[in-house]
Structure 1
Amino acid sequence: MVAHVLRLRLDLLIGALRGDRRRVTRHAIALVLLIVAVGVVCAGILSLRTAPDDVAFAVTMIGCSALTLGFFVAAIVGGADDQLDPRRFAVFGATPRATAWATLPASVISVPVLGVVVVAAALATMWIAHGATTAVAVASAVLGVLTCMLFAKIALAIVGLVLRDRRSRELTGVFLIAMLVVVVPVVVFLASLEWRGEVPSALTQAVDVLALTPLGAAWSLPGRELTGSFAAPLLVAVVTLLAQTALWLWLVDRLLTTTERPGSARERRGLGWFDLTGGTPAGGIAARSLIYWLRDPRYLVNVAIVPVAAIVTIVPLVLVGVPLATAVLLPAPLMALFLGWLAHNDLAYDSTALWMHIASAVRGSADRAGRLVPVVALGILILAVTIPVTVSLHGRWAILPAMVGVCASLFLCGLGLSSVASVVAPYPVSRPGDSPFQQPQRTGGGLSQGVVLVGAVLLSLPSLWWGWLTLSVDAEWAWTALWGGIGIGVVVLIAGILGGGAVFDRSGGRLMEFAEST
């Protein structure tokens, strides 16, 4: 059976270059781009043969760990079906265990895995030039390739088992945003380091941790052999491979013994965000709010103004003589404050659609929590990009925890106060379909805006003070600012959701009267 599957896999690989001209052209261009990328990576790896051991180890660990993680994430996000899906071999009558073992060797014969094989060969060559033994370098390459391949196989099996008929562009978007939140800070951090022929101290600890994780343990073996700490990463690499193999065997058994849930055409199309947020009241409100925030220009204009307003504040500070390294620290906290403030009048944007929440007797806390989901997702994305860039421009990464704590406090306190303000004192806004720049005449609204902004700053004073101590006294205060800011923000957010929910429960009639009259 193994030989049959191997021949089948080779036929599928060659068959990708047959068919209509458009399909062949697309596959040929992708293959050429992959070959170029692999060539560039191999050239970069081989250039490290003359670099110091610690520099070569740090660079390869970061790149190889990202490569391993990329195999798992790409299999989930990519949306491609596994050509060697075990369920396709069910008609042969083989046992799940035999099917699992037969499809594994054939999985090596794929363009991405073959690309990793070439990269692993370049890595082995580079480490042998550094003095690592050939056996360890080859073992590291084999373990690394198998780890990447099994991560991809496991991810595809999970997708086939769990996400069948429910994969959507919304789910893909969530994965991509999550990766952006992780990747951008890492890239900014690495780009800001000054190597000067040696590994920066800020990177050493991170690389040591990666060497003991399933992502990097296999790739770290030659480098660790040179430093004498070889046993621990070898144990992690072997245990990871055994655990992946056991999980693969279990997943194949589940795939071959589980009947797929029959689905109609309606189910295959899915319900978009409503599928992802669940069937709870808060989940339904969150899905509806996400759709509004992504499509309604009134929300989009408010979001677009936030970074512009925050960045513009740097100019007057620099003009009056504030050092640029200090002035660049201001936009991130201001963005956090304004992002938390965005939800202070969210009920008004619903207009008469508010009746759905009141008529269905939705609990106020569910309404308050569901409406905050888009703002929280947007805020995390913007701050995850802004904070590392700000700290990088400042030049002291030791203040990063303090900056995170200050921004978390301002953002979460703003959300908590906004959850109360939007039900206590809503004010008219442009109606659905109107231009976002066409604001109605109103006599109120300024009070709730000011209360949310000033209140968030006042409640965040402890974290702001700890952040100032981090800058002017001792960087050790950074961790106090981090945990203190997050703690204050979470407490205020929960209190705001519960308090605003209680007001919402008691003020349904007043809120509907407001919605009908504006």
Structure 2
Amino acid sequence: MAAHVLRLRLALLFGALRGHAGHVVRVVLGLVILAAATAGACWALLTMRDAAPDAVRTVTVLGGSAVTLGFALAPLIGALDDPLDPRRFALFGLPRGRLAGILVVAGLISVPILALIAIAVCAAIVWADHGVPVAIGVVSVVLGVLTCSLFARVCGALASLFLRERRSRELSGVFVLVVLVVVVPVGVFLASLEWRGAVPQQLLRAVDALALTPFGAAWAIPGALAAGQSVWPAVLVAVATIVALGLLWLWAVRRLLTTTERPGTGRERAGLGWFGVAPGTPGGAIAARSLVYWFGDRRYVVNALVIPVAAAITTVPLLVAGVPPEIVALVPVPFAALFLGWLPHDDVAYDSTAVWMHISGGVRGVSDRVGRLVPVLLVGVPLLAVAVPVATSLHGRWAILPALTGVCAVLFLSGLGLSSISSVVAPYAVSRPGESPFQQPQRTSAGGAVAQGVVMLGVLVLSAPVVWCGWLALQGDTTAATTALWGGLAIGLGVLVVGVVIGSVVFERRGGRLMEFAEST
């Protein structure tokens, strides 16, 4: 049976070259691009035979970690059907454990895995030229390839179980934001390093950290030996990763064989957008509706676009006043964090009469509060993740990065917590749906200005200790920078949790008042 499955796998690979002309051209073009990329990677590795061991170790660990992460994310992002889905082999009546093993072996026969093996073998050759025993290189290749293959198998099974018919351009956009959060700060960090003919110590520390993760452990084994370090930590992590992934794969095979695949071609969810991505819970539905408003309603779009403009304008008077540019470079990011956290302070009012759906449906307050925060988190976290390292790079001293991160975290998260309370305690009239964002209704009281001011002042008061630590870090106190980081995260998360809890209770108790407000504005 194992040989039969392997023959089927080979037949599927060659069968991809059959079909109409357009399909064959696309497949051939993809294979040519992959072959060219593989050849380029192999050539680049082989040219490092005379490079320093630290440089080879850095390249192999960083590159191997990125490739392993790619094997894990590809099944989650893509929506292609897996030809080795265990449900396709249910009629063969094989024991689940044996079927799981056969599919793992068959999964090794794929174009991406073959390309990975070629690159990994070239890395082993380079390490052999640096005095690493061939056996160690072979162990690294085997463990690395197995890790990548198992990640692809497990993540593909999880996607089949939980993301079936839910992958869409919206979900792909979320993954792009996640990648943006990781790639841009890393790119800015690498660009800021001073190489001077050797690998910077910061990068070596990053490599040491990756060597103890499931993504980089297998690839770090030869480098650890070449650097005179113990290989056992990396070996243990790599073996533990394979064992854990193997157990997850066994569980996934059992689950796939004992559950029924949901019917449908995907058309049933076509056009649902964020509703097809969000979980099928009250909080998920509210989050999806809020996302639709945030990216489609002109009032939300204008508010979001004003934030970076307002943050950038703050630099002008500072530069005119003679403040050093390296200090001014740090100012816009905390201002953006403050305004992002403050943005949803009147979110209920923007719903207008649509808020009746939440109240009449008996939605719990926590679902309403958390669901409304999803859009601003989805926008704010990537924006700050990119802006903080960029501002730090412009400042020129990376020791300030923890302090700036803590200050932005406390301003952003505290603002969200207080806004969760303000939007149900003191909502005020805003422009109605479809009206100009710049058209504001007449108000008979100053309640709106008071609500805005209280939220802003509350955020500043709660953030004051962290801002003070950030100022000390700017004067050169590295201990204050660490204090600002952890203090900002602790205070910000604490205020966010407390704000959501209080806002949830108030929402449930003031449902009637909120309906009256929505009908009267």
The alignment's TM-score, normalised by the length of structure 1, stands at 0.92
Equivalent residue runs for 1:358-373 within 5 Å: 358-373=359-374
More displaced 10-residue stretch of structure 1: 169-178 or 38-47 = 169-178
Q: In the TM superposition, what are the counterparts of 1:55-134 in structure 2 within 5 Å?
A: 55-134=55-134
Distance 1:334 1:405 in 2: 13
1:245, 1:16 → 2: CA distance? Answer: 29
Q: Deviation digits for residues 261-280 of structure 1, max 9, x if unmatched?
A: 55467995286545655455
Asked if structure 1 preserves the Cα contact closer than 8 Å seen for 2:269 and 2:276, the reply is no
1:495 and 2:498 matched: yes
Q: Deviations over 1:375-409 (max 9, x none)?
A: 12221121111112111222222222211111111
Aligned mates of 1:83, 1:395 — CA distance in 2? 51
Hey, what does 2:349 align to over in structure 1? 348
Deviation for aligned residue 1:168:
4.6
Q: Conserved in 2, the CA contact under 8 Å of 1:52 and 1:197? A: no
Distance 2:198 2:286 in 1: 52
Determine the structure 2 residue equivalent to 1:391: 392
- Using the TM superposition, name which of 229-238 and 258-267 deviates more: 258-267
The CA distance in 2 between the partners of 1:478 and 1:252, in whole Å, is: 48
Out of 177-186 and 48-57, give the one that drifted further.
177-186
Shift of 1:255: 2.7
Report Cα offsets for 1:240-283 as digits up to 9, x if no partner.
33333343334334333x03155467995286545655455434
* Structure 2 Cα separation of the partners of residues 259 and 494 of structure 1: 37
Which residue of the partner structure matches residue 288 of structure 1? 289
Shift of residue 410, structure 1, vs aligned partner: 0.7
SS at match of 2:195: coil
Note closer, same or farther for the CA distance 1:307–1:43 as it changes in structure 2 (3 Å cut): farther
Separation of aligned partners in 2, 1:369 and 1:90? 41
Change (3 A) 1:158 1:357: closer
Which residue is equivalent to 1:25? Answer: 25
Change beyond 3 A, Cα 1:191–1:43: farther
Q: Which residue of 2 aligns with 1:209?
A: 209
Q: Give 2:320's aligned residue.
A: 319
String of CA shifts for 1:180-218, please: whole Å, max 9, x gaps.
322322222222212222222222222112112221111
Q: What CA distance in whole angstroms lies between the structure 2 residues aligned with 1:317 and 1:50?
A: 51
* Larger deviation, residues 277-286 vs 451-460: 277-286
Counterpart of 2:79 in structure 1: which amino acid? G
Does 2:516 match 1:513? yes
For each residue in 1:488-513, what CA deviation from the matched residue of structure 2 results, as whole angstroms up to 9, or x when unmatched? 22232233333334444444444333
User: Structure 1: any 5+ residue segments left out of the alignment?
Assistant: none
Q: Report what 2:136 is aligned to.
A: 136
Shift in alpha-carbon separation, 1:358–1:205, aligned structure 2, 3 A: same
Q: For 1:157-236, list aligned pairs within 5 A.
A: 157-228=157-228, 229-236=230-237
- Alignment partner for residue 483 of structure 1, among 477, 481, 486? 486
Please name the residue that 2:35 is paired with. Answer: 35
For the residue of structure 2 that corresponds to 1:460, the secondary structure is helix
Counterpart AA for 2:343: L
When residues 148 and 308 of structure 1 are mapped into structure 2, their CA distance, relative to the original with a 3 A threshold, is: same
| Number of positions where the alignment pairs a residue of Structure 1 with one of Structure 2 | 517
Q: Is the 8 A contact 1:77 1:176 kept in 2?
A: no
CA distance, structure 2, for counterparts of residue 494 and residue 251 of structure 1 = 34
> Cα 1:29–1:267, aligned 2, differ >3 Å: closer, same or farther?
closer
Give the direction of change, closer, same or farther, for the CA distance of 1:491–1:44 in structure 2 (3 Å limit): same
Q: How much does 1:475 deviate?
A: 0.9
Please give the alpha-carbon distance, in whole angstroms, between the structure 2 residues aligned to 1:57 and 1:343: 47
CA contact (8 A) 1:341 1:453 kept: yes
1:307 maps to a residue whose letter is P
Q: Distance in 1 between matches of 2:29 and 2:437?
A: 44
2:438 matched residue in structure 1: 437
State yes or no: 1:453 paired with 2:456.
Answer: yes
The TM-score normalised by the length of structure 2 is 0.91
1:430-479 per-position Cα deviation (integer Å, ceiling 9, x unaligned): 22122323333446433322222232112211000011111114111112
CA contact (8 A) 2:167 2:277 kept: no
- The percentage of counterpart residues that share the same residue type is 57
Deviates more, 1:302-311 or 1:502-511: 502-511
The whole-number CA distance in structure 2 between the counterparts of 1:12 and 1:205 is 44
Structure 2, unmatched stretches of 5+, are none
| Separation in 1, partners of 2:166, 2:7 | 33
Question: Is 1:406–2:407 an aligned residue pair?
Answer: yes
1:362 and 1:315 map into 2 onto residues whose CA distance is 46
- Looking at structure 1, the residues matched to 89 and 510 of structure 2 have their Cα atoms a distance apart, in angstroms, of 61
- One-letter amino acid matched to 1:497: V
**Which residue of structure 1 aligns with residue 3 of structure 2?**
3
**Greater shift in the superposed pair: 276-285 or 197-206:** 276-285
Query: Counterparts of 1:34 and 1:206 in 2: how far apart (Å)?
Result: 29
Whether the 8 Å contact between 2:170 and 2:274 is mirrored in structure 1 is: yes
The DSSP-based 3-state class of the residue aligned with 2:427 is coil
Whether the 8 Å CA contact 1:277–1:283 is kept in 2: the answer is: yes
Letter in 2 for 1:386: A
**What is residue 252 of structure 1 aligned with on the other side?**
253
Q: Deviations over 1:151-199 (max 9, x none)?
A: 1111112222343355454444433333332232222222221222222
